[in-house]
Homo-oligomer: A and B are copies of this chain.
Amino acid sequence: MDRIPILRMGRLLLVTIQVDMHDRLAMTLQDDLTTRIVKDRATGVLIDISALDIVDSFIGRMISNTAAMAKILDARTVLVGMQPAVAITLVELGLTLEGVSTALNVERGVKLLQQESEWD
Chain A, range 2-16, C-beta contacts under 8 Å to B: 3-5, 7-10, 14, 16
Does B51 lie within 8 Å of A4, measured CB to CB?
Answer: yes
* Residue of A5, A10, A19, A50 with highest tally of chain B CB at under 10 A: A5
| Chain B, residue nearest A51 (CB) | B5
Size category, A interface: 20 to 34
Q: A7-B14, A7-B105, A8-B107 are in contact. List 17 more A-B contacts (CB 8 A).
A: A1-B18, A1-B51, A3-B51, A4-B18, A4-B51, A5-B16, A5-B48, A7-B16, A7-B81, A8-B105, A8-B106, A9-B107, A9-B110, A10-B107, A14-B14, A16-B18, A18-B18
